[in-house]
Amino acid sequence: MSELLSFTGAQAAARIRAGDISAAELFDAYRERAAADDLNAFLWVADAQDEHANAAGPLAAVPLAVKDLFCVEGVPSMAGSRILAGYRPPYTSTAVANLRAAGAAVLGKTNMDEFAMGSSNENSGYGPVLNPWDRSRVPGGSSGGSAAAVAAGLAPWAIGTDTGGSIRQPASLCGVVGLKPTYGAVSRYGMIAFASSLDQAGPLTRDVTDAALLLRHMSGRDSCDSTSIGYPDEIELPTTDRLDGMVFGVPPELSAEGIEPGVREVFEANLTTIEELGGRLEQVSLPHSPHGISAYYVIAPAEASANLARYDGVRFGHRSDSYDGLTELYEATRAEGFGTEVKRRIMLGTFALSSGYYEAYYGRAQKVRTKIADDFRSAFERVDLIVTPTSPSVAFPLGAKTSDPLAMYMNDYCTVPMPLAGIPAISIPSGISEGLPVGLQLAGPAFSENKILNAAYALEQVLGFEGIPVAA
């Protein structure tokens, strides 16, 4: 691999600003690599430098891989769905616009589970992404294309979205850094919606510094998204190499049962590293977190069933060729355009919201959500951050879980409680099991990103994990 491709995003930006490398040369190197992608990580690759990029900005026209569900004006934005095949939106999402304003150049759109519904990328309408560590395995999902592209060096960095773990879980399975910010930190305007009370955009990067840099420039209050807040303080680039004085909570509910032995072993070693760096460990209880999957798989499908009502073959996207009358137009278009998992979730969601079942499902799930948020609140009275494995397993073989939706949902076991509570969490590469990467998750109270990034950075210096697999 040429030296050009070995730089992190921040390193490349610094070299471009110093005049050591040229932005055009860097873009071409990645463009060529992304266009030759044999992991199916990209659904679209730019054929020329992004005209909105700005080499004088802090991101110095460094190429950026963008998950397919971010609308980019004039660029295919399909959310991994056949129902949006060929759709080129008339506007650009705020997250991408903010990054471009800081200088970033859009390199391509990355493959994903259809409408971000999935944990393996096997639900993409455009075929699965392969894990660069082992091409017979999944990259995780739903931001699997972004994670695989960063891991394989097809892009210096990427953005994705996380609803129940869709940034952190693929980051873990591909051995890269993935950060889900506090709900409201990044505008959702122009993000093709899955579950609006949970969806949050964030970075997938080779290291923690890059995650901080992208987050700094993508976040902010946006008048187009009334739930966006931005940060009270600026996101700082992390510098700490010690954890002295910090208390890390270890919840047995998310770190023992259901976690495969190899992952648990790496996690135990990570806890020792935390202590070696001066951090203190304390057991905390999150008694309602085991019910996170249940609450999530009511709330997210319920919101999705409403959000996806707009795909009816009238204003944009696919329209069936054969229909008789308006009702059949809707039915045929949706039957042809949506994949199986999307249909499954629309049915779950409409059922959970239906008269007579609303209280038993949606109403109770919202109460469980309150209890999960309360558990975190009490824990954060005693500890600074909570640590868990990111994913219960390493990357699994393609097809291993496709016939059992519930088994697939359990991949999100350690990652769903955080979005239900709206709090931020990062996954960093923390070790190897069976030759595959394992991720460590650090979660903190709302708007504690600077603290999370600093702790993750300190751990990263010791864990010393190479972001790019040998296979690439």
Residue 75 CA to residue 88 CA, distance in Å, equals 5
To 10 degrees, what angle do helices 340-352 and 292-307 make?
A: 100
Shortest gap between Cβ of 445 and other proteins (angstroms)?
12
How many other β-carbons are positioned within 10 Å of the β-carbon of residue 97? 22
Q: Counting Cβ atoms within 10 Å, is residue 344 exposed (0-12), middle (13-18) or buried (19+)?
A: middle
Q: How far is the CB of 429 from other proteins (least distance, A)?
A: 28
Query: Among residues 77, 81, 142, 187, which one is catalytic?
Result: 142
Which position among 146, 166, 172, 391 bears the catalytic label? 166
Largest CA distance in the chain: 70
Q: Which is nearer to other proteins, 265 or 374 (CB)?
A: 374
The least CB distance from residue 260 to other proteins, in Å, is 20
Beta-strand ranges (E) seen in 266-384 are 280-283
In the block, residue with structure tokens 């291993």: 400
In angstroms, give the least distance from the CB of 157 to other proteins.
Answer: 27
Annotated active-site residue 142? The verdict is: yes
Report the nearest approach of other proteins to the CB of residue 360 (Å): 8
Query: Judging by DSSP bridges, how do beta strands 247-250 and 385-389 pair with one another?
Result: parallel
Q: Could you say which of 67, 180, 401, 451 is catalytic?
A: 67
Cβ-based neighbours of 331, under 8 Å, separated by 6 or more: 323
Q: In the complex with other proteins, which residue's Cβ is closer, 2 or 403?
A: 403
CB 248 within 8 A of CB 279: yes
The residues with which 426 forms a beta bridge, in sequence order, are: 179, 442
- Which CA distances in Å does 405 have to 68, 139, 142, 341? 23, 17, 15, 8
- Min dist CB 340 to other proteins, Å, is 8
User: Which pair of structure tokens corresponds to residue 354?
Assistant: 């239906």
- State the residues that interact with other proteins by CB under 8 A: 87-91, 182-184, 197, 223, 226-227, 229, 288, 291, 293-295, 297-298, 313-319, 323-326, 329, 340, 343-344, 347-348, 351, 360-361, 363-371, 373, 405-406, 409, 420-422, 446
Nearer to other proteins, 260 or 374 (CB): 374
Q: How many CB atoms lie within 10 A of CB 239?
A: 10
Burial class (CB in 10 A: 0-12, 13-18, 19+), 313: buried
Q: Name the residue nearer to other proteins (CB basis): 26 or 229.
A: 229
Per-residue CA distances from 38 to 43, 130, 176, 426 (Å): 11, 8, 19, 28
Residue 83 or 152: the one with the smaller Cβ distance to other proteins is: 83
Q: Are strands 42-45 and 436-443 parallel, antiparallel or unpaired?
A: unpaired
Comparison of 228 and 427: residue with beta carbon closer to other proteins: 228
- 403 assigned to active site: no
Q: What DSSP letter does each residue of 6-45 carry, written as one string?
A: HS-HHHHHHHHHHTSS-HHHHHHHHHHHHHT-SSS-EEEE
**Smallest separation (angstroms) from other proteins to the CB of 300:** 12
Cβ nearer to other proteins, comparing 130 with 408: 408
Residue 67 known to be catalytic: yes
Annotated catalytic residues are: 67, 142, 166
